[in-house]
Structure 1
Amino acid sequence: MSPQNSKKAIDGGWGWVIVVASSLAMFLAYGSPQSVGVLYPEWLSVFQESKAMTAWVGSLVCGIGLIASPLCSACVVNFGARPVTIFSGVMVSGGLILSAFAPNVQFLIFSYGIVVGLGCGLLYAATITITCQYFDKKRGLALGIVTTGTSVGGFLYATVQNELIELYGVDGCLLIIGCFALNIIACAGLMRPLHLPAYYLKQRAALVEKAEEKLLEKQILTEDPVKKHIPVAEVLVSVEAREPLAYERCLLNCSALVKIIKRKQKAYSEYVLSPVRLLHDRVFTAMCITLFLYSLGSIPPLLFLEDLAQSEGLIEGISVLPLVSIVAIAGVLGKLLLGMMIDIRWMNSVLLYAFTAVASGVALILIPVTKNYAGLQVISAVLGFFSGNWSITPYMTTMVMGIDRLTEAHGILMLFGGMGIMLGPPVVGWFYDWMQSYDVAFYFSGSCVLLGGVFLFLSALPCWNKTRTQTAKPDVDDCEKVAAVA
């Protein structure tokens, strides 16, 4: 979004249709990845691979889309939310159906982890961007509703996938939910853009330029429709001078080509260096580090909690209400309530995010000392509620970096989050394979999340008092950007 071609957010009207369509698309795409913990034990028994190797499937499907966020954001900026959403629906559906025919874990890593993960990443970038375009004052609530689609999908898909596995096996389950995912394409039809994407603007400018050139050529021809008589002497001179003139023309063409290459190289260099300039902001850098540590430690419970309960003998067989479902339904409440909280004028979104990270870290550290299933259910609810802080990240990024740099900055932030998500489950699985226990793994996860929350809190706290007294100023410095009011 650039200030030249973006329209004022309308905070209602068709924007609520966008919210419903985006939430439904997130539900269809993220339902299976958010409840991948239900599929994880099945894959362990079918393929007989180590926990660390099998965990790569769940970590990649959640992390690869975020790692590719800068690329996904560039696709949304150039082509718009609707085409990107259509393409993401094809990728998610195709990846799930392809996974039903996986002969080994390595193939599953590609089909489920990479293909479905990239499809989810494209959809996430498209829905977040178009929602922020349509909303300003109610942006927090709108983002909260959109992101609840992932949690509702995780809650329902966890139960549905259990039933489908019992009836048709894991392969039949993946085929059916892959067919469900095709409805993402229908959701894309409702995503009416506020302005034309950059690619179409460039194409239109090129067409206008060609039309002007043709018009200029016609004007020249009409000015001199009849060729004038040329003397023989001038013809002889022109023939003799033809070769030097051709040589000069070649030099001019080469010089123009060199200038074009230099101009393109300068543009690409500025594009590559622009993310580095964003990281010069101290608070934004702290946000990136915190999100990496949070993702590194908070995602493994989605994958390992059910396996932990079964391996510790806290439950026999499959629970009627899996722990993954509790995490997901609590996440719905968390995203809605936290989204409503950041719309409060005096609320600081950065400090609120830091608090949720600290609370999640404490809950993760308590998992190894919990020796009953009811305790795990309570901890799952706490972790799910505070995982609603994912609805805060776009709002927090907008407040710190501004709406004009939202797409680029949010893409970089999600890159750090994706790296943490991708590394978290394999690291926890490696700890289990090494120690034959989840205790050290969850102590490590909780410590990472707790450290990230404390780091962000300390980075933002020096600016808090200053921002509360100076939010009325139109020009804000780095400290004032931390405030949750523009």
Structure 2
Amino acid sequence: MFAGCFGLIFNDFLIEVDMNSTSVTLLMGVSCMSVAVSGYFTSNLCKIMSMRKCALLSAVILNIGSLGTVFANTKILFFIFQGVFLGAGFGVLYTITCTLLNDYFIKRRLLFISIAQTVTGISALLAPQLVKLTLEEYGYRGTLIIICCFMLQTFVAVSLMQPVVWHMKKVEVADENTDEIKLLLVDKNANETVLSTPLITMTDPELATKTKEEIHHDIKHDIEYSDEKPTGGIKQKINEMLDIKLLKKFCLSNASMGPTFCMFAEMNFTLMLPQALYEMKWDQYSVAKAIMLNCFGDLVTRTMFIFISKWVTKLGNQEVYLIGLVVAFVSRLCMLWTEKPTVVLLFITLIGVARSSILVLPPVILAEVFTPEEFTKAMGIFMMLFGVMNLVLGPAIGAVRDMTKSYPTAFYIITTSFAVVILLWTLELVYKKNKNRRKLQLLAAEELKRKRNKNRGNQ
């Protein structure tokens, strides 16, 4: 809710403790790395405890970070509470939330993810004005205390969280299914078989006296026993925990790496935008207005996704995401090429429109690429790589800004990253579509050839 207000909330504090752009981007990297590590190991954590307990633990960590930030008066404490604790709590909670939405909804997944994201967008739209009022009335510390009160709602949210298995309908196995089991059974001592076509001869006469339930239980036990795998050494356990195979699959797909890279670029741009506007001699009211318009564009697009979710699914989630990236690229360039405040506000609003697709669609795209069993781990990898990028590339962008004393230079670097993703992802989609078209043409040619050969044989 208050992520877009970081510069507005902490501007005076950053000046007080002498944190420059490099320090701020390093904080962003530490925070994102905490999100990454916690999100990556969420699937392993859910094997130790239930999903609700895992969510409750994340809510506790999140609120410790929020409360600790109120009393932080040095860089180290600020990094610990704002970076580590808040990041770790959010990483687990976000991954679990995406997993639950993915489990509950299949056909209308985008619709309900859009509804959830729209609620977040409404909160983000109201947040800048709320922060501006509280800063004027209660100051920096008072604003943080009010934010802590808002964060307490996470306990209510996780207590209402229900795993999808609680709502699955139990389907009774029909009698004919158990009768089919007996198709495979033949009494060795009987003159007649159970049915006319015996497939397996029983070697133990006692099996012939077993009931349907006992037979069904034995077969189920045998299947479960056969599925058991011998536990390996430390290397195998590490491979299972890290899931190297899934990590390779993730890194070799633009549909996975593209959203990760773009979310990194988007978050860094959002973090630096208020400071850039302050450098342009904008006052606090104008900066709050710019952030509000950015959130308004984001909110309008999220709301539109609710009504056009079927059309988006039909057109293709990846294609719609690419359209959003094009809007993000063009609007940022236009914002950098103008100095008129009104025009800048217009393009900041368009940046918010593009921001919606960058933040809303990644879980939907990952659900297309990975199976339901792989989804939680894939979301973890997504968060992990996102954190690594922020930890490594974020401070580098901040350092460029400090050396050049120019925010536009940093924004040009961020904007270039969108162009790279657009180019590579478009080439991949075109290649895959051409490949599928060639396969269909080959299948059609083979089918036509088969029919001709059949007709010649009949003649």
| TM value normalised by structure 1 | 0.70
- For residue 397 of structure 1, the aligned residue among 366, 383, 387 is 366
Q: 2-side partners of 1:275 and 1:151: how far apart?
A: 35
Match of 1:335 in 2: 302
Q: 1-side partners of 2:93 and 2:242: how far apart?
A: 26
Cα deviation for residue 94 of structure 1 reads 1.5
Cα deviation for residue 382 of structure 1 reads 1.6
Match of 1:429 in 2: 398
- Letter matched to residue 316 of structure 1: D
8 Å Cα contact 1:61/1:114 also seen in 2: yes
CA distance 1:159–1:58, shift in 2 (3 Å)? farther
Q: Secondary structure at the match of 2:107?
A: coil
- Letter matched to residue 350 of structure 1: Q
The answer as to 2:262 corresponding to 1:294 is yes
Q: How does 1:4-43 map to 2 (within 5 A)?
A: 31-43=1-13
Q: How does 1:268-283 map to 2 (within 5 A)?
A: 268-272=237-241, 274-280=243-249
Q: 2-side partners of 1:413 and 1:180: how far apart?
A: 27
Match of 1:107 in 2: 77
- Letter matched to residue 160 of structure 1: L
Match of 1:118 in 2: 88
Match of 1:233 in 2: none
Unaligned segments of structure 1, at least 5 residues = 1-30, 197-259, 472-486
CA distance 1:273–1:170, shift in 2 (3 Å)? closer
8 Å Cα contact 1:154/1:324 also seen in 2: no
Unaligned segments of structure 2, at least 5 residues = 167-228, 441-459
- Letter matched to residue 307 of structure 1: Q
Q: How does 1:281-360 map to 2 (within 5 A)?
A: 285-313=253-281, 315-319=282-286, 321-338=288-305, 341=308, 343-344=310-311, 345-360=313-328
Q: Give the aligned CA root-mean-square deviation in angstroms.
A: 2.8
Cα deviation for residue 423 of structure 1 reads 4.8
- Letter matched to residue 274 of structure 1: D
Deviations 1:292-311 (Å, cap 9, x if unpaired)? 43134222232222222221
Q: How does 1:86-485 map to 2 (within 5 A)?
A: 86-195=56-165, 263-265=232-234, 267-272=236-241, 274-280=243-249, 285-313=253-281, 315-319=282-286, 321-338=288-305, 341=308, 343-344=310-311, 345-389=313-357, 390-423=359-392, 425-464=394-433
Deviations 1:185-226 (Å, cap 9, x if unpaired)? 111122121238xxxxxxxxxxxxxxxxxxxxxxxxxxxxxx
Cα deviation for residue 177 of structure 1 reads 1.0
- Letter matched to residue 358 of structure 1: V
Higher RCO (C-alpha under 8 Å, 6+ residues apart) = 2
Match of 1:20 in 2: none
The answer as to 2:16 corresponding to 1:46 is yes
Q: Secondary structure at the match of 1:136?
A: coil
Q: 1-side partners of 2:138 and 2:396: how far apart?
A: 32
In percent, how many aligned pairs have the same letter?
Answer: 19
Q: 1-side partners of 2:38 and 2:326: how far apart?
A: 27
Q: 2-side partners of 1:450 and 1:440: how far apart?
A: 16
Comparing 162-171 with 459-468, which one deviates more in the overlay? Answer: 459-468
Deviations 1:66-110 (Å, cap 9, x if unpaired)? 453211243345534422332222222221111111121222111
- Letter matched to residue 162 of structure 2: R
CA distance 1:95–1:443, shift in 2 (3 Å)? same
Cα deviation for residue 268 of structure 1 reads 0.9
- Letter matched to residue 456 of structure 1: W
8 Å Cα contact 2:401/2:407 also seen in 1: yes
The answer as to 2:42 corresponding to 1:75 is no
Cα deviation for residue 427 of structure 1 reads 3.4
| TM value normalised by structure 2 | 0.74
8 Å Cα contact 1:358/1:453 also seen in 2: yes
Cα deviation for residue 465 of structure 1 reads 5.3
Deviations 1:133-192 (Å, cap 9, x if unpaired)? 111111111111222343333222222222222222212211221122111111112212
- Letter matched to residue 398 of structure 1: A
Cα deviation for residue 438 of structure 1 reads 1.1
Deviations 1:273-301 (Å, cap 9, x if unpaired)? 6343452368x532343234313422223
Deviations 1:356-382 (Å, cap 9, x if unpaired)? 223212322333222122222222222
Q: 2-side partners of 1:347 and 1:190: how far apart?
A: 35
Q: 2-side partners of 1:273 and 1:89: how far apart?
A: 25
8 Å Cα contact 1:363/1:379 also seen in 2: yes
Cα deviation for residue 271 of structure 1 reads 0.8
- Letter matched to residue 305 of structure 1: L
Q: 2-side partners of 1:309 and 1:262: how far apart?
A: 57
Deviations 1:113-141 (Å, cap 9, x if unpaired)? 11111111111111111111111111111
8 Å Cα contact 1:294/1:449 also seen in 2: yes
Work out the number of aligned pairs and report it.
Answer: 376
Deviations 1:318-365 (Å, cap 9, x if unpaired)? 338432222223222333434654543532222222232232123223
8 Å Cα contact 2:277/2:287 also seen in 1: no
Cα deviation for residue 444 of structure 1 reads 0.6
Q: 2-side partners of 1:470 and 1:337: how far apart?
A: 36
CA distance 1:339–1:57, shift in 2 (3 Å)? farther
8 Å Cα contact 2:294/2:352 also seen in 1: yes
8 Å Cα contact 1:331/1:387 also seen in 2: yes
Q: 1-side partners of 2:160 and 2:417: how far apart?
A: 40
Match of 1:243 in 2: none
